[in-house]
Structure 1
Amino acid sequence: MQMETFHWKKNQKLAEDYIHQSAQAAALFPYHFGHQEDWQSRIKWLDEGQPTLSADRGRLVEVLRSYNERIGNAEAAFDQIAALEGKETLVIVGGQQAGLFGGSLLVLYKAITIIQLAREWSAKLNRQVVPIFWIAGEDHDFDEVNHLFTLSNTQQIDKIKVDHPTGQRTSVSKLRLEPEAWKVALTALDQSLMDTEFKASLMAKLESAAEGGATLSDAFARWMAMLFGEYGLVLIDSDEPSLRTIESPMFEQLVRQNEAFAASLLKSQEDVQQAGYSSQADVTNDGANLFVYAGGHRLLLHREGEYFTDKKKEYRFTKEQLQDMAVTSPEQLSNNVMSRPLMQEFLFPVLATVLGPGEIAYWALTKQAFSHFGMKMPIVAPRLEFTLIEGTVQKQMHKYDFTFEDVMYRFEQKKQDWLDSQDTLRLNERFDRVKTEFRDSYAPLVDSLAVINQGVKKLGDTNLAKIIEQIEFLQHKAADAYKTQFDATLRQLERIRLTILPLAKPQERVYNGCAYMNRYGNDWLKELLETPIPVDGLHRVYYL
């Protein structure tokens, strides 16, 4: 297993500073993942100071068991669920939206991080630490999860997507796709993937995950269970109706104490801004930080006087009505990014939560809210990051002397330097010299025409510019013709760039994992799962 570490600076400053333990960022979190004593402190708090506001563990186990049976999870996952009945059991938890066929690679890496940390701390503590993946099925941004990208054999980035089945702005978990829609997406993926020894098995599993007119959330859960169930990963959809019943007491408190909840978020936002960071989420004084299902839509609520209303003011609820809803029909309520961390803490004995950079930044806004509800924010651990580089791409990087940093920061310059080094005719230099010599000899003649009249001088200036333009036209044509000698090289260099920075983004944020499973099977995934990898916030380049 060949792997290199690389400090890929996060585009979210607060997350970058938190990972590298700057004082101003550290003050926004109660613990730091890099301090062993903080892990012990968190364990002690969970053992001795658990909040009175917490879910019924027995009912939670029943819900988890039922859900994981429905998605066909592996026996190892049920062993982990059973362990949750023990009072000493802790969890490592993280989540993501339910992306098409697993979404982007970073989703796999988040699951790997959860499993790695749970295994590590189970061994260190000699007590059960359960890995749990929280599917954000309640999110309603369908366009964010309805597609995937793969790199085709023709070096095109293919986008494969499914269309919204209803047009209603409601949770992804409530949008069932017709079998024909799944068939179209599966066919497109099949055509995008090259024929390999692994393809038939891969496509059969994906078809199985999508059968029965599944929602994106259903198919995602089944696929994740196929990939990670044998490692004990427990899955749960945040929009699971039976889970909502358990969440009822927390929803009731979020409604009852809504003004104080919003005030606590504003206090944390002030702390974040005073530390020199911008707020990652929209926190307002009148924000309810809860959604309600009404009229077939998932609607964000805000307070307006004595009422809670949606943005268009089509629906209006009193606090008493929402409290009654929380008790009698909690499936009508839904969390937003600010209340979901609190609900997670209510449900699980969370030792640590695994987050991406953007999530780390908005979790900083919840510190005071945790305290307000008698809770404490868990340890925030950054998910593992990888860039996969295939053997042929690695060879090409060596051949043309490209490092990972070259591709990241100076690809075009490095490519041009290579082309210039091949230019034995020194075309640019010679053309530039011709232009200079022509301009130096012709410009004085044109200037002297002013003694005749300004019209002739102006005509001469235009003539000079056109001649220079024609020389430059020939220069560009000659350069293009010269580059055709290196078409094969340029294609190889472009493959390097598209591998590492597709769409000018990190690979893990763009490409889906299926293309790599199609080419290499699942051995690379198993290596990442079974090889202990430090959770340290660094980026890793993994050579396949």
Structure 2
Amino acid sequence: MKCNTLKLTEQDQFINKIKNSESQITSFYEYDAAKKESFYRRLKTPNNGREFHLSRVIKSYMNELKLTHQQLNNIDALADGAKVVIGGQQAGLFGGPLYTFHKIFSIITLSRQLSEEYDTPIVPVFWIAGEDHDFEEVNHTYAFNNKETTLKKVKYHTMTPPDSNVSRYTPDKNELKASLNHFFKEMKETVHTQDVYQMCVNIINQFDSWTDIFKGLIHEVFKDYGILFIDAQYPELRQMEKPLFKEILEKRNQIDQSFRETQIRKTQQQLPSMIQTETNTHLFIHEDGMRQLLNFDGTYFKLNKTEKRYTKQNLLDIIEREPERISNNVVTRPVVEEWLFNTVAFIGGPSEIKYWAELKDVFDTLNVEMPIVMPRLRITYLYARTKKLLKQYNLSIESVIANGVEQERQRFVREKASNNFINEVEEMKIQQQELYNNLFTYVENNHDNQLLLEKNNQIHLNQYDYLIKRYLLNIERENDISMRQFREISETLHPMGGLQERVWNPLQIMNDFGIDVFSPTTYPPLSYSFDHLIINP
């Protein structure tokens, strides 16, 4: 496979500003991600002393997986004090959007690159956000149907979605297999189809919880590259986090103030606020079968879904006895993650790195140094057929990925249409308006008749617009093959008005190119890049 870089123009230029070390952006982070000296400095920071305990917890969490020697070596390296490159994501259906796999791939790629450059083991770690409870975000995905040249939504259906976090949710295996069958029915069959399908069936049969099934899939794909996994909701991990949970509770006012003051400073730099939250406590608690947000009213900590309330001592006791009932919100989760690990670099998506820019003072409040914050690799797969269609219609891949094809599609239709016909209709509209302007002079003193004329005029003008619209629609029908090809380009490179990796599913790519397509060696030479990557299979 070939790998090329592409310079896409983002609306806010945020990642480009990171790449160029612009102070407007870098002032909100501890380290400048674009400078090599940042990595040297970060690697020299002392460890937190939790690495051995953490390695035991991770080994316990991964115990039911068949670990590769690369993973076992990395667990040992972690215990011996190796630093990590880390990132995380929600557990999406069948791996979720492609960017989840791209994030894991980014973690592996950067950790390998740093290990070689600094001649020291750097361990890749993927954090599964199992404490999240918005099931509607993870219960569906999309498959590209080649025959219809369109994306089809595939959803896991249940009458009893979880009110708590997804780590506690056990899906119905038959329903999950039905969703899997639906997904594969939409795709074309290839030489890889049976292997990918059977891998998924085996994983569904082996694991029970939603996040464990997700873990099983990403393990099967990335195990040979030494990646380690941990679920944020894993009980043994929560036991480790007890001291920090207590500190967060005690320092809730300072944390909230630090976060909100940074947001204000960020908006003063013409940078939009990313985190929207009303809480002043920044912790959740599992109560009455639901994950509920805590908020302090000056006397008690109250919940957002039930009438239950707690004193601070109540919560401190719960943290001590049942820490697995406590979880973080978007403000405190990054700090907890970095308090646990000796991190060189955190890898996040475009939105993540923007909201991390609002948290530097929160890190400082809890005496945790923010690591280097890196944007993940952004990748688009350019199929040979799509490349051929781009050439056929003289389309720029940069323009299509960024803006789609609608403007070019409409231009194509207009070129096939009769300009004389359209011009005549437009001329009729002008004549119509002139006629009605004359009629208005006869009723200028009669308000009711003026309204009547305006309404009647608009009806006729709408009919002319309708005539042109239906005429062009007939042109589209006469050029159905081209319309399907424009739709294919759009659904492949600019689906739902955005990037391919935000909609397409990794199973689609594996079905076309094999399970090992996400290997760091599949498309050399590949080094970490701030630019968009185009993979030509």
Identical pairs, percent:
28
Give the Å deviation of 1:472: 6.1
Give the Å deviation of 1:216: 2.0
1:214 to 208, 211, 219: 208
5+ residue gaps in structure 1?
none
TM-score scaled by length of structure 2: 0.90
Give the Å deviation of 1:467: 7.8
Matched residue, 1:383: 376
Deviations 1:233-272 (A, max 9, x none): 1111111111111222222222232222223323322332
Matched residue, 2:391: 398
Given that 2:87 and 2:126 are in contact with CA atoms closer than 8 Å, whether structure 1 keeps it comes out as yes
Distance 1:149 1:98 in 2: 15
Distance 2:440 2:326 in 1: 83
Give the Å deviation of 1:359: 0.9
Question: Residues 530 and 75 from structure 1, CA distance in 2 versus in 1: closer, same or farther, beyond 3 angstroms?
Answer: farther
Given that 1:138 and 1:173 are in contact with CA atoms closer than 8 Å, whether structure 2 keeps it comes out as yes
Given that 2:404 and 2:490 are in contact with CA atoms closer than 8 Å, whether structure 1 keeps it comes out as no
Q: Give the AA of the match of 1:40.
A: Y
Q: Give the AA of the match of 2:361.
A: Q
The SS at the match of 2:41 is helix
Matched residue, 1:63: 57
Distance 2:514 2:69 in 1: 22
Distance 1:198 1:507 in 2: 21
2:274 to 275, 280, 283: 280
Structure 1 residue 8 corresponds to structure 2 residue 5: no
Distance 2:420 2:13 in 1: 45
Q: Which moved more, 1:194-203 or 1:252-261?
A: 252-261
Matched residue, 2:524: 531
Question: Residues 448 and 183 from structure 1, CA distance in 2 versus in 1: closer, same or farther, beyond 3 angstroms?
Answer: closer
Distance 1:504 1:400 in 2: 20
Matched residue, 1:518: 511
Question: Residues 479 and 310 from structure 1, CA distance in 2 versus in 1: closer, same or farther, beyond 3 angstroms?
Answer: closer
Give the Å deviation of 1:499: 0.9
Matched residue, 1:30: 30
Given that 1:165 and 1:177 are in contact with CA atoms closer than 8 Å, whether structure 2 keeps it comes out as no
Matched residue, 1:355: 348
The SS at the match of 1:236 is strand
Question: Residues 249 and 429 from structure 1, CA distance in 2 versus in 1: closer, same or farther, beyond 3 angstroms?
Answer: same
Q: Give the AA of the match of 1:26.
A: T
Alpha carbon RMSD of aligned pairs, Å? Answer: 3.1
Matched residue, 2:338: 345
Matched residue, 2:240: 246
1:102 to 90, 95, 117: 95
1:190 to 184, 188, 194: 184
Distance 2:152 2:177 in 1: 17
Question: Residues 183 and 410 from structure 1, CA distance in 2 versus in 1: closer, same or farther, beyond 3 angstroms?
Answer: closer
Matched residue, 2:227: 233
Q: Which moved more, 1:405-414 or 1:31-40?
A: 405-414
The SS at the match of 1:402 is coil
Matched residue, 1:256: 250
Given that 1:135 and 1:237 are in contact with CA atoms closer than 8 Å, whether structure 2 keeps it comes out as yes
2:79 to 75, 85, 103: 85
Q: Give the AA of the match of 2:205.
A: E
The structure number with the bigger radius of gyration is: 1
Give the Å deviation of 1:459: 11
How many residues matched?
533
Structure 1 residue 420 corresponds to structure 2 residue 407: no
Matched residue, 1:143: 136
1:130 to 115, 123, 136: 123
Give the Å deviation of 1:398: 0.1
5+ residue gaps in structure 2?
none
Distance 1:412 1:231 in 2: 41
Structure 1 residue 295 corresponds to structure 2 residue 295: no
Distance 1:24 1:458 in 2: 55
Matched residue, 1:316: 309
Given that 1:176 and 1:213 are in contact with CA atoms closer than 8 Å, whether structure 2 keeps it comes out as no
Given that 2:404 and 2:497 are in contact with CA atoms closer than 8 Å, whether structure 1 keeps it comes out as no
Question: Residues 313 and 15 from structure 1, CA distance in 2 versus in 1: closer, same or farther, beyond 3 angstroms?
Answer: farther
Give the Å deviation of 1:527: 5.6
Given that 1:449 and 1:457 are in contact with CA atoms closer than 8 Å, whether structure 2 keeps it comes out as no
Matched residue, 1:501: 494
Q: Which moved more, 1:406-415 or 1:179-188?
A: 406-415
Give the Å deviation of 1:462: 9.8
